[in-house]
Structure 1
Amino acid sequence: MSSNNTTRETRMSRNAERTPGPKKPRRNGWRLFRRILFIVVAVVVLGLLAGAGLFFYYAQSAPKVTQGALSSDTSTRVYDAKGNIISRLGAQNRSYVKSDNIPATLKKAVVSTEDRRFYKNDGVDPIRILGAAFANVSGSSLGMQGGSTLTQQLVKLSVFSTAASDRTLKRKAQEAWLALKVDHEYSKDQILEYYVNKVYMGNGVYGMETAAEYYYGTSLKKLGLPQLALLAGMPQSPTNYDPTTYPQYAKKRRDLVLSAMAKNNVITSAQATQAQATSIKAGLAKTHKTSGTSAKTTKVIDAYLKQVYAELKSKGYNTTTGGLKVHTNLDLDAQKKLYDIANGSSYISYPSSKFQVGSTIVEPNSGKVVAMLGGRKTGKVTFGLNRAVQTDRSSASTAKPLMDYGPAIEYLNYPTYEPVKDSAFTYPGTDKNLYDWDRQYQGTITMRKALYESRNIPAVRTLQNVGISKATDFLKGLGMSFDKTLTLQNGIGLYISTEQEAAAYAAFANGGTYYKPYLVSRVVTQDGKSHNYASTGKKAMSAATAFMITDMMKDVITNDNGSGTAAEISGLYQAGKTGTDSYPDDYADQVPDGATMDSWFTGYTKNYAVSVWTGYDKQFQAGHYVSESDTKIAQQIYKYEMSYLATKTTNSDWTAPSTVTETTQNNQKEYYVTGHPGTVGDTTATSQYGSTNTTSSSAYSSNNQVTTNSSSSHASTTESSSSKESANTEQKPSGGTGNDNNTNSTDTSSATTNKDDNS
């Protein structure tokens, strides 16, 4: 009895000990942990599934990778207008080497440098990716470790662009997918062979066999460990690791490769140390082996090619590793003719080998640049100064149709016989006088005569009437823009290139439409996509303006007093303008009378516009002036080139549009904008001494008045012309574009004299 009671009491006591106090939270904490873990795992799984889904989505749109793409070079091939290859940038020196002829040492160096697990991975290496991330963060990679396998690098070089802008998630996914396929379809030896032959090695060289020939003058099989280690490390930055240009960087890179090889146990530490002690210049060739496009052809097209690559770059193309097929507008025969005229002795007698030329040829109805010459006697320089596109030399009087007379017809409806005043002129707001080359005045003459004799004062007075703003608008329509506000001085000299001027004059040739000049017509990228390029014409002036300017510029060449008679080609319908830029007065006494800094001729037919600049690069150096007789060389170059071009096309004259009316003045055929004939004034030309100029074929009396019903006809008496010429006086000469080589700035001279040879 007592025993049972004791048992019950003991149980009650134990139960009492269990019930008091709160429950322990151990079980609830475990449940919370499991829930969090489940959520984390779920998120990770969902992330992996989403990532896998995105990966395969991108993979579906991946381009195809063929054996041809893997084994071919990634050079840029350039073709002329006929489809003939004229250059292979990066492929000139390429020699393919089979796997059996690739030294085992080079293979070990490449693998140690680019992908230590190359023979173990399947084209994509997750361990390498994680290792690269850790190594790059910790700084222990010695610059050798990257996330992409060697196979991925091969795919990138074969299929994709290497531009930084293309390093997107989509591109990386496609790259990885294709790397897996390549690794599955090709052996490791094949993949390594393709890589060794494809990588860019600097100086236009592709492939390590070609690099061995270029840098060392021999084949890979004959190179030692130090040289092979350098070649294996160069693809990361071929320009910076060029041993001939940056030996200090090249040595550092080579030594890192040797250290990586030792770490990978493919060479001993002793071998690495010995190779690192070898001079980086040991075995380098003094001359570099080249092949491919002939040296002669390369020199002929040098300036054109340079501009092609500039155009490609502006469009965002990679010309070194893009694998592009570039079709251009180059007429190789016209290019060769232009080159021969400038560099040969059978056409023109040049004053010296330093006398320079820049020229551009444009098709008026498309804007296609068919030829371009950047200089003459340039020696072994490749991609040197392209004088055809330089804009730091004054175009002198070739600016007059563009800035003065073209706008006068377009905005003021000047007829070709508009009376213009050739009399004493001082730039408004200054004490600076403007003179013509002969320092004489002809009084009131026609606009036609002022243009073909290239008189400066009438041109600047005409620009005053037009106004700088309107003239600038006219130039803008012809593709020209300027950093500084133009001035009256720019009416007799613009800082533009032969390419710009040829394209602008082409608008006169085709009836008033401007086409932006271009060299590249089509680009085929490595994925086979074709991108076509053309210039869209924009109306820059009326057909009347284009025709009337052309008709006046015919006389520049055909009139006995024209400034461009040396450019005349018998029977050819053509027009053009001369331009010569005199030295500033404070330097004029250091050169002979009549000497100039620059001489231009820009002319055209209905089929071609040709602009030519001649002069010296250093025009203020002793003896570097264009003599009076040599100012005609620009015209002669034009004449010989245009004579050749004329044989390739039909010869037809321009037809007056319906907006132009023909009239006769003093036995001279003249034109006016229909409805705006103007009133004929007294344009009998007289010199500053008051004598009558009897040589003026376009001088006529005030009795030859044109009858018109237009209420807006021009008053063209001497008095009203004088009033118009002084209407715009707010512009002050200041050098225009900031180059003081044209005419004279206000603080260095009291005279401006652009001389065109027309005596």
Structure 2
Amino acid sequence: MRVRERDDRGVVQSVVLFLGVSVLSGALAAGLAIPFAGLAGYGTEKTSETLQDLPQELKTEPLAVKSRILAADGSLVANLYEQNRVPVKLDQINPIMRKAIVAIEDDRYYEHGALDAKGTLRALIRNQSQGDVQQGGSSITQQYVKMSLIEKARTEEEVKAATAETYERKIAELRYAVAVEKEFSKDEILEKYLNLANFGDGAYGVEAAARHYFSTTAAKLNLAQAATLAGLVKNPTGYDPTNNMKRAKDRRDVVLRRMQELNVITAKQATDAIKTPVIDPKKVNKVPNGCANSRYPFYCEYVVSQLLKNSAFGRDAKSREHYIKTAGITVKTSLDPKIQAAAQASINEHSRANDQAIAAITIVEPGTGLVKAMVQSRPYGSGRFQTAYNYNVEKSYAGGYGGFQNGSTMKAFTIAAAIQKGFPLNHRIMSPRTIDLTRKKFSTCSGTTQSFDTYRPSNSTAAQGDLTMIDAARASTNTYFLQLSQQTGLCSIATIAAGLGMYDAQQEKPLEQVVSMTLGVGYVTPLMMANAYATFAARGKYCTPLVVTAVNGAAGKPIATPGISCKQALSPPVADGVNRVLHEVMEPGGTGARLKFGPSDLAGKTGTINANKAVWFVGYSNRLAAASVVADATLPYTNLINQTLDGKKMNDASGSGTAGPLWETAMRNALKGMPETHFVAPSDKTIRGDVKDIPFVTGMSPQDAINRIQQAGFTAQVAPGMVDSEEAAGTVAYTSPRRRDGAPEGSMITIYISNGSKGQPQIPKPPTPGKPTITIPTTNPACPPWHPKYPNCNRR
């Protein structure tokens, strides 16, 4: 008997508690009378304290709405969402849908207050008698409160608290429900409910559900469709028709019969609806979520990485990610589908996903930094011949591969440094096939650096000898550019490269200033290279790479985001000079000649790293700049030769022959239809250079020559070994640069020593007495150029 008494008292306590809450909410029906007056004081003190502690107002989160990333033309790049939702007004929802949800969830919704006293009391007594919560009795308002609390939850503990099957939570819900009913009308609450509810299979809110299951809108839902959606709310996963068609039909039919019982629909309408299929699988419309489901997954992920850096979206990466996926923002990007398609077509033509080597292309717009295209040979994914790495971008974001060594594409920055220092475009340097730079010192920003104990670099092309800057660029002559970088100093090269956005994409550090810097240094990306060369095309205006051009909130209001950001990194005359030199690379005889197309001016540079582990071509017009790379991206990195590209083994690997065709096909199609453009011709001063005369030292001793050169404001060094010359052995044969070309003040002048192998020129003999005088011609072919030793040679 005592056990029974305790059970009875538990029921009574729950009823009293319910009565207190009911009175508080104003929802107790006037006709509800239960003779518990003698027990009214039982447990009410604790109940009162609980009620007093509850907040008076329900604070809700804004509805989580999917965000969109768009291309430059407005086409969809990707949807980003935690919940696929499209909010609508109540008048945009078919009345039959409203009737269906009310019929099955709370048929007295428009008659009672914050709770349905009858339903709640019935469920409460049953649950207490069973010892746990077996039956619900929540009104639509209470359900809305519960969903709102779950929506606000950010931690597991908060989710548990919002879903705990306890009377304490029920009391809290009731208090909140009272507040909600005071603030909003029944229709307003129903609208919020239908927009917040989970309808299964990733569809939140009635509009998204209508689009997903039926390829229609909430306004056009028919009876059977509305009943299906109304039935889903109770168990979105269990009644999901894409998971279990039979359970979904049974549940839908329950809704239809309930609507018939309530005289919302006729028996015939119910029967006819029951005969219809629940869904047509062909009309189920999945809304792809995230970059992995985008047409442009790598570009999309890079966009998201840039969004996560924007403090306008939150204090940290986690809060920013949540905001981006729930705030319903629209992100406009610089991606140009036409140019992207051109780049992708090139990848498709020249490579395959199952190649051993990878290929990648980035295209940038000069003068804006807008990244127009980003493609690669291996598609996005975790399967065989797929990758999550983006080979075009830096390692500082999760998917970035971090670049490749760039080889001779670095020579463009050496050219810029030389022109900036006043070197003429015809600056000559004696450039043998192999040069000995063992333990040579090159100046850096912090002092000097020294080469290896043994360092004898060679040229990879046949061009050698007394070359100008243009000659050396056309042939990519290593020994020329190594000497030129010594003359300019590595600091100026590094400074220009950094100003054009170049840094080590693996370590996020400045490029290392080493003797071989001009032949390639560090790890750089196609995006970096394309954007740096775009600076030359824009006459020295460097622009930070930009993929996000605008962000608008759900209401269309702009959200602050970094826009186009440019600076004058090089003077226009210097850039014009670089354009002239690199333009010649693509003229007949240049390493890029086979890649030239169309009437517009083009410029570019090849690049090959040691052991052919990566090859590049970077080139541009005034309108677009692109970088293409073919590389081994699988450790341990090996020579590309004998690896497959486009399904075939490579017998050779070069910037012009391997990476070049990828660049040419992409750029040819990307520039199709664009107006013809030409580079600005360099000024006479740029062509001639800002030079001063080099003193005449031919025939002098090395030390005397060094002294004289230094007195003239230059630095000097003696080249190792000796050269063939008519000068006496051990004296100066010539200098590099040549005296006739001059050199910028402070430049390094290299002195070459004669071995005397050609002997001394013959001095013309005076005429024999008694014979007719012979007139010496104005120019004597036997005389050398003017020389202090022979002041009268070549003169009358």
TM-score scaled to structure 2, two decimals? 0.54
What pairs up with 1:452-471 in 2 under 5 angstroms? 452-471=474-493
Per-residue deviation at 1:396? Answer: 1.4
1:310-360 deviation digits (Å, cap 9, x = unpaired)? 2222224433112011111221111112112212x4xx3769544422211
Q: Match for residue 388 of structure 1?
A: 392
- Correspondent of 2:616 among 600, 608, 611: 600
Is the Cα–Cα contact under 8 Å of residues 140 and 190 in structure 2 kept in the other structure?
Answer: no
| In structure 1, distance between residues paired with 2:737 and 2:498 | 40
Is the Cα–Cα contact under 8 Å of residues 723 and 752 in structure 2 kept in the other structure?
Answer: no
Residue 401 in structure 1 maps to residue 401 in structure 2: no
Per-residue deviation at 1:195? Answer: 0.6
1:369-397 deviation digits (Å, cap 9, x = unpaired)? 11111434557879932111132311111
Q: Match for residue 565 of structure 1?
A: 593
What pairs up with 1:143-154 in 2 under 5 angstroms? none
1:430-462 deviation digits (Å, cap 9, x = unpaired)? 324242354989344322222222223333333
Q: Secondary structure at the match of 1:333?
A: helix
Q: Match for residue 581 of structure 2?
A: 552
Is the Cα–Cα contact under 8 Å of residues 461 and 476 in structure 2 kept in the other structure?
Answer: no
Q: Match for residue 643 of structure 1?
A: 668
Is the Cα–Cα contact under 8 Å of residues 77 and 85 in structure 1 kept in the other structure?
Answer: yes
- Computing the radius of gyration over CA atoms, which structure comes out larger, 1 or 2? 2
Per-residue deviation at 1:501? Answer: 1.0
Residue 526 in structure 1 maps to residue 554 in structure 2: yes
Q: Match for residue 445 of structure 1?
A: 467
* 1:675–1:184 distance in 2 versus 1, CA, 3 Å: farther
- Correspondent of 1:504 among 487, 507, 532: 532
Is the Cα–Cα contact under 8 Å of residues 80 and 290 in structure 2 kept in the other structure?
Answer: no
1:484-510 deviation digits (Å, cap 9, x = unpaired)? 560323432241111111111011111
| In structure 2, distance between residues paired with 1:363 and 1:552 | 21
Write the letter of the residue equivalent to 1:637.
L
Residue 661 in structure 1 maps to residue 666 in structure 2: no
Per-residue deviation at 1:223? Answer: 11
Is the Cα–Cα contact under 8 Å of residues 415 and 677 in structure 1 kept in the other structure?
Answer: no
Per-residue deviation at 1:517? Answer: 0.8
* 1:569–1:94 distance in 2 versus 1, CA, 3 Å: same
Count of aligned pairs: 535
Q: Match for residue 487 of structure 1?
A: 513
| In structure 2, distance between residues paired with 1:465 and 1:152 | 81
Q: Match for residue 195 of structure 2?
A: 194
Is the Cα–Cα contact under 8 Å of residues 486 and 748 in structure 2 kept in the other structure?
Answer: no
1:239-270 deviation digits (Å, cap 9, x = unpaired)? xxxx9xxxxxxxxxxxxxxxxxxxxxxxxxxx
Is the Cα–Cα contact under 8 Å of residues 72 and 336 in structure 2 kept in the other structure?
Answer: yes
Give the % identical residues.
20
1:484-539 deviation digits (Å, cap 9, x = unpaired)? 56032343224111111111101111111110010111110124321364222112
Unaligned runs of 5+ in 2: 1-51, 88-92, 108-114, 116-132, 215-224, 244-281, 314-322, 394-400, 440-449, 699-720, 726-733, 754-796
Q: Match for residue 314 of structure 1?
A: 309
What pairs up with 1:580-599 in 2 under 5 angstroms? 580-583=608-611, 596-599=612-615
- Correspondent of 1:75 among 47, 52, 66: 66
* 1:691–1:674 distance in 2 versus 1, CA, 3 Å: closer
1:541-569 deviation digits (Å, cap 9, x = unpaired)? 12222111111111222141x22233221
| In structure 1, distance between residues paired with 2:356 and 2:593 | 26
1:581-634 deviation digits (Å, cap 9, x = unpaired)? 233xxxxxxxxxxxx211111100011101111123216478547735454232
Q: Secondary structure at the match of 2:626?
A: strand
- Correspondent of 1:672 among 664, 688, 691: 688
Is the Cα–Cα contact under 8 Å of residues 618 and 624 in structure 1 kept in the other structure?
Answer: no
| In structure 2, distance between residues paired with 1:295 and 1:680 | 70
| In structure 1, distance between residues paired with 2:621 and 2:137 | 65
Q: Secondary structure at the match of 2:340?
A: helix
Per-residue deviation at 1:577? Answer: 0.7
Residue 424 in structure 1 maps to residue 449 in structure 2: no
* 1:637–1:703 distance in 2 versus 1, CA, 3 Å: closer
Q: Match for residue 542 of structure 1?
A: 571
Measured on the aligned residues, the alpha-carbon RMSD in Å equals 5.8
Per-residue deviation at 1:198? Answer: 8.9
Q: Match for residue 337 of structure 2?
A: 332
| In structure 1, distance between residues paired with 2:420 and 2:472 | 18
Q: Match for residue 78 of structure 2?
A: 87
Is the Cα–Cα contact under 8 Å of residues 420 and 458 in structure 1 kept in the other structure?
Answer: yes
| In structure 2, distance between residues paired with 1:679 and 1:144 | 96
Task: Name which of structure 1's ranges 520-529 and 380-389 shifts more when overlaid on structure 2.
Answer: 380-389
Write the letter of the residue equivalent to 2:66.
S
Is the Cα–Cα contact under 8 Å of residues 196 and 208 in structure 1 kept in the other structure?
Answer: no
1:169-218 deviation digits (Å, cap 9, x = unpaired)? xxxxxxx99x7797336354432211125999599x996788999xxxxx
Per-residue deviation at 1:227? Answer: 11
TM-score scaled to structure 1, two decimals? 0.57
Write the letter of the residue equivalent to 2:196.
Y
Residue 516 in structure 1 maps to residue 538 in structure 2: no
Residue 436 in structure 1 maps to residue 465 in structure 2: no
Is the Cα–Cα contact under 8 Å of residues 351 and 359 in structure 2 kept in the other structure?
Answer: no
Write the letter of the residue equivalent to 1:339.
Q
Q: Secondary structure at the match of 1:661?
A: helix
- Correspondent of 1:302 among 277, 297, 303: 297
Write the letter of the residue equivalent to 1:369.
V
1:287-327 deviation digits (Å, cap 9, x = unpaired)? 99764579999665222222222222222443311201111
Is the Cα–Cα contact under 8 Å of residues 579 and 603 in structure 2 kept in the other structure?
Answer: yes
- Correspondent of 1:367 among 362, 366, 369: 369
* 1:391–1:104 distance in 2 versus 1, CA, 3 Å: farther
* 1:144–1:605 distance in 2 versus 1, CA, 3 Å: farther
Write the letter of the residue equivalent to 1:487.
Q
* 1:322–1:354 distance in 2 versus 1, CA, 3 Å: farther
| In structure 2, distance between residues paired with 1:524 and 1:582 | 47
Is the Cα–Cα contact under 8 Å of residues 353 and 379 in structure 2 kept in the other structure?
Answer: no
Is the Cα–Cα contact under 8 Å of residues 415 and 678 in structure 1 kept in the other structure?
Answer: no
* 1:301–1:121 distance in 2 versus 1, CA, 3 Å: closer
* 1:442–1:142 distance in 2 versus 1, CA, 3 Å: same
Is the Cα–Cα contact under 8 Å of residues 457 and 479 in structure 2 kept in the other structure?
Answer: yes
Per-residue deviation at 1:655? Answer: 1.7
Per-residue deviation at 1:220? Answer: 11
Q: Secondary structure at the match of 1:320?
A: helix
* 1:473–1:342 distance in 2 versus 1, CA, 3 Å: same
Is the Cα–Cα contact under 8 Å of residues 123 and 151 in structure 1 kept in the other structure?
Answer: no
Write the letter of the residue equivalent to 2:359.
V
Per-residue deviation at 1:645? Answer: 2.7
Unaligned runs of 5+ in 1: 1-47, 155-175, 214-218, 235-242, 244-286, 584-595, 663-670, 683-687, 693-699, 721-759
* 1:705–1:432 distance in 2 versus 1, CA, 3 Å: closer
* 1:192–1:362 distance in 2 versus 1, CA, 3 Å: same
| In structure 2, distance between residues paired with 1:103 and 1:421 | 88
Is the Cα–Cα contact under 8 Å of residues 429 and 466 in structure 2 kept in the other structure?
Answer: yes
| In structure 2, distance between residues paired with 1:716 and 1:437 | 22
Write the letter of the residue equivalent to 1:614.
V
Is the Cα–Cα contact under 8 Å of residues 419 and 681 in structure 1 kept in the other structure?
Answer: no
Q: Secondary structure at the match of 1:433?
A: coil
By relative contact order (CA 8 Å, sep 6+), the higher-ranking structure is 1
| In structure 1, distance between residues paired with 2:668 and 2:658 | 15
